[in-house]
């Protein structure tokens, strides 16, 4: 169990490690990347529940970001698979609730439920993937700073940042407790019974509260005033404007026009000639 928690701790912290890169995309102002992600997510979720083909061109954005930022594709796919059971559980009942046939592929009849389920999976992959890319290229602290500079109340951004940082405190204390239990339970081979689990859960709450108080005192002793500060300095310039304007125009164009139909017509015209 301790090894599983160790891996979870590594996975959460690895996103911030990826954000320390020095690619042109990493050096962009966080506000540009945040607003671009918001436009991307809004464009994707605004499609109807039966849309599939029109969602496929939107995969161009994550492909470009992964390439420019030199991010590990396998690691990001593992993070998507980790949370995929939630969306699968939500949409798995669609084929039984919507049985009207929408597409016939030879002898195979595909109902609207399966189409909406596939559309849900595509939108989940695009939106959650865009959020992971934002964190992996920006860092959670820089995202909170961008939210504050865009007008979000400071109390909200600071609480959001502290909540994220508190996860590391919680996981760190959990790792130490489970490791101590495994070293002291020779006969049980590290297994945690229900009674011991409840006791450890209560101790974990007390330990994390005490640790959080010490962290708060350390922040006050270092003159923390609620303003989010990061080491890397950013400035919204023409590169950020081009990034936001270019991708924003692309998303708007993909939303308002059916690129697959246009490509099909171009192919027919080329074949006709």
- pLDDT score, position 228: 66
- pLDDT score, position 187: 59
| Cα distance between residue 186 and residue 99, in whole Å | 55
Question: Is 35 contained in some domain?
Answer: yes
| Cα distance between residue 161 and residue 165, in whole Å | 6
127 plus 163 within the same structural domain: no
Question: Is 217 contained in some domain?
Answer: yes
- pLDDT score, position 10: 55
Beta strands in the chain (DSSP E): 101-105, 108-111
Question: Is 66 contained in some domain?
Answer: yes
Of the candidates 66, 84, 82, which has an alpha carbon nearest to the alpha carbon of residue 8? Answer: 82
38 plus 120 within the same structural domain: yes
User: How many domains does the chain fold into?
Assistant: 2
26 plus 130 within the same structural domain: yes
| Cα distance between residue 20 and residue 142, in whole Å | 11
pTM of the model: 0.79
Question: Is 268 contained in some domain?
Answer: no
- The residues of the chain scoring below 70 in pLDDT are 1-13, 103-106, 185-191, 194, 226-233, 264-265, 267-273
Of the candidates 153, 96, 121, 112, which has an alpha carbon nearest to the alpha carbon of residue 44? Answer: 121
8 Å CB contact between 77 and 66:
no
236 plus 225 within the same structural domain: no
| Cα distance between residue 157 and residue 155, in whole Å | 6
Question: Is 267 contained in some domain?
Answer: no
44 plus 114 within the same structural domain: yes
Question: Is 81 contained in some domain?
Answer: yes
CA 159 to chain centre: 19
Q: Token pair of 191, please? A: 């297994």
Give the domain range for residue 96. Answer: 20-138+232-260
Of the candidates 52, 50, 55, which has an alpha carbon nearest to the alpha carbon of residue 255? Answer: 55
What does the DSSP 8-state code read for residue 26?
Answer: T
Q: In Å, how far are 52, 80, 92, 96, 118 from 115, measured between CA atoms?
A: 8, 21, 11, 12, 5
Question: Is 196 contained in some domain?
Answer: yes
34 plus 113 within the same structural domain: yes
28 plus 107 within the same structural domain: yes
129 plus 208 within the same structural domain: no
27 plus 118 within the same structural domain: yes
Q: What angle do CA 146, 149, 155 make, to 5 degrees?
A: 90
Question: Is 271 contained in some domain?
Answer: no
- pLDDT score, position 128: 92
166 plus 97 within the same structural domain: no
11 plus 90 within the same structural domain: no
| CA dihedral for 36, 39, 43, 44, sign (positive or negative) | positive
Q: What angle do CA 147, 165, 137 make, to 5 degrees?
A: 55
39 plus 168 within the same structural domain: no
User: CB neighbours of 7 closer than 8 A, spacing ≥ 6?
Assistant: none
- pLDDT score, position 2: 46
8 Å CB contact between 19 and 97:
no
């Amino acid at each position: 169990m301790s090894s599983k928690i160790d891996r979870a701790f590594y996975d959460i912290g690895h996103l911030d490690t990826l954000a320390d890169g020095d690619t042109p995309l990493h050096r962009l102002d966080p506000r540009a990347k945040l607003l671009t992600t918001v436009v991307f997510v809004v464009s994707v979720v605004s499609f109807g529940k039966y849309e599939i083909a029109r969602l496929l061109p939107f995969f161009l954005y994550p492909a470009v970001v992964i390439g420019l930022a030199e991010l590990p594709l396998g690691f990001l796919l593992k993070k998507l698979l980790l949370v995929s059971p939630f969306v699968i559980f939500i949409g798995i009942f669609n084929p039984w609730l919507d049985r009207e046939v929408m597409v016939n592929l030879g002898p195979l009849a595909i109902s609207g439920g399966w189409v909406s389920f596939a559309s849900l999976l595509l939108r989940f992959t695009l939106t959650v993937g865009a959020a992971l890319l934002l964190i992996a290229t920006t860092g959670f602290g820089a995202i909170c700073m961008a939210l504050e500079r865009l007008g979000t109340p400071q109390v909200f951004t600071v609480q959001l940042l502290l909540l994220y940082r508190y996860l590391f405190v919680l996981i760190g204390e959990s790792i130490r407790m489970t490791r101590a239990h495994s070293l002291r339970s020779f006969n049980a081979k590290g297994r945690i019974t229900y009674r011991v689990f409840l006791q450890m859960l209560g101790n974990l709450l007390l330990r994390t509260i005490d640790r959080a108080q010490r962290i708060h005192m350390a922040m006050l002793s270092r003159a923390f005033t609620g303003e989010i500060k990061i080491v890397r300095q950013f400035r919204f310039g023409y590169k950020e404007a081009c990034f936001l304007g270019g991708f924003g125009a692309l998303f708007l164009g993909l939303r308002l026009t059916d690129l697959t139909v246009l490509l099909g017509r171009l192919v027919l015209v080329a074949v006709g000639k």
